[in-house]
Amino acid sequence: MLQVKEVSKKFEKPDGTSLQVLTNISLSLRDGEILGVFGSKGSGRSTLLRILSGVLSPDSGFVCVDGERIDRLSAGDRRRMIGRVASDSHTDLPSDSTVEGILSEALAIGSPSAAVPAALEHMMQELEVYARRLADFVSASRSKSIGTLTVGERQLIAILRTILARPNLLVLDGHVEPLDTAQRKDADLCMAYAALTGQIVIVAKSDDFSWVGSTCTTGTRLLEGKNHNFVISASM
């Protein structure tokens, strides 16, 4: 479960004045929910997601994941509990590693090494059901080195790697920027797959609401530093 309680953040400007970006943001999400964070440029979307992922500290308020305040966690525990994918996450992948090696490393987190091969095959079977095109790509690329893939393909592997590590909270901020149209659909299916495994998924988007019904279960819109929560129905 995710609880965000009255989080506020301001930044000091060069002229000595301050800019209030977020004011008393509160949220509550259950396991398996997908939250879309909507807002125009400068609305505080990225600031909020950086706070939720533990990259940035709020001035006041707090964030809890499964009852643990993230500001009181060790860096290792925070990385284990919170997975974050940004627009440049593909650059974190070692170019000489294989696709299978990258995914196996993620599956090995918290699992005995002997169980990884079976877990990888089980993951492939699940992808066949939920994201067939992505499953075909992974199957055809298992022995390829990361350095031979396109930027979009590397980004998809970065997204999948983060999901397979089974964080309690998955934060996606600009994760689709390097992707083409077809790959963005694969990324949406990855979000749904993560939610089905019980992860809480938070994704930042602009004020374009046309896509939300098929991917998000709930939403919050940032206006003038405050959030307005709403439930997304299947008909949207």
pLDDT tens per residue, range 22-79: 999 999 999 999 998 988 888 888 899 999 999 999 999 999 999 999 999 999 999 9
**Cα–Cα distance for residue pair 51/62, rounded to 1 Å:** 9
The pLDDT score that the predictor gives to residue 236 is 39
Alpha helices in 83-131 (DSSP H): 99-108, 116-130
Calculate ∠ Cα 176-36-83, nearest 5°.
60
pLDDT at 5 exceeding the cut of 90: yes
The phi-psi region of residue 199 (left if phi > 0; otherwise alpha if psi is between -120 and 50; otherwise beta) is beta
Please tell me the predicted confidence (pLDDT) of residue 206. Answer: 66
Average of per-residue pLDDT across 80-108: 94
- pLDDT for the residue 8: 95
Do 152 and 180 touch, CB atoms closer than 8 A? yes
Question: What CA–CA distance (Å, rounded) separates 91 from 70?
Answer: 26
Nearest to 20 by CA among 30, 11, 31: 11
Whether the model pTM is above 0.75:
yes
Q: What is the mean pLDDT of the chain?
A: 89
Q: Which candidate, 103, 109, 137, 133, places its Cα nearest to that of 121?
A: 103
d(C-alpha 153, C-alpha 171), whole Å: 19
Residue 153 has pLDDT above 80, yes or no: yes
Q: Which domains does the chain have, with CATH numbers?
A: 2-231 (3.40.50.300)
Most confidently predicted of 3-7, 183-187, 222-226: 3-7
